[in-house]
Amino acid sequence: MRTGRTLVGRLVVWQASVVVAVLLGAGLVVDRVLARNLVDELAESLPREARLVRESLAGAADLQEDARRLGQAAGIRITLIRPDGVVLADSDHDPATMENHADRPEVVSALRGELGVDVRKSDTLGIEFLYVALPHRGGDFVWRVALPLTRVRAAQGTIRVPLAAGLLAAAAAALLGVLLATGAWPGPSPACGRPSTAWLGETCRPGSRGAEPRSSSPWPTR
């Protein structure tokens, strides 16, 4: 019947929409969790990098040039900041043109004697960075290193490909299950000897090899 087919079609569409929505939501959650984990791993490794920078640049005659050279070699941004916020050296920019950094969250934490960590877009370079500043234990300046999150985005992109493939496979399997459960998927018909299309309103005569549409006429056919 047309009404039955319409109901089955609506049921399939509704269940398929639910499956797609659930899998899409799960994919977004997993993607965000992976990104957060990558940032956390970098935040754990950067303090070690900052300590190595501090040891390497201790007593350097030309802080700006040495910071630039070391930053390029290590693939990180290095910034040396006085306790009053004045930037003394920066591996990626001319410190003379940079703003006062006394209000930067990671610098504020470092001046309190804590490890400073922050993620934001750089006002100087316009790129999103993960910043880590070592606790200030006295001395002439705060040691800060930063890593552009373009690396995180690149790593995240390599993970998204297999993740998307897995979600698509799960969606296809779930949709196939919905079709089979609702009878909307043509299954084998012993009477017809071929996939049945009864869900389209067709029937097979016993012993026949094909489907014959149902007739709405009350008169017998010859």
Instruction: Dump pLDDT digits (tens) for 120-169.
Output: 998 888 888 999 999 998 777 899 999 988 766 666 666 666 767 776 77
Say how far apart CA 145 and CA 128 lie, in whole Å.
Answer: 13
Say how far apart CA 213 and CA 204 lie, in whole Å.
Answer: 8
Global confidence as pTM: 0.59
pLDDT of residue 163: 66
Hey, which residues does 221 pair with through a beta bridge?
A: none
Mean per-residue pLDDT pooled into runs of 10, the chain (222 residues): 60 69 71 69 85 90 94 93 95 94 95 93 87 88 90 66 71 69 55 47 50 50 51
State CA 111 to chain mean position distance.
34
C-beta atoms surrounding 139 within 10 Å: 10
For residue 129, is it left (φ>0), alpha (ψ between -120 and 50) or beta? beta
Say how far apart CA 113 and CA 107 lie, in whole Å.
Answer: 10
Q: Write down all domains in the chain, each with its CATH number in brackets.
A: 51-150 (3.30.450.20), 186-222 (no CATH)
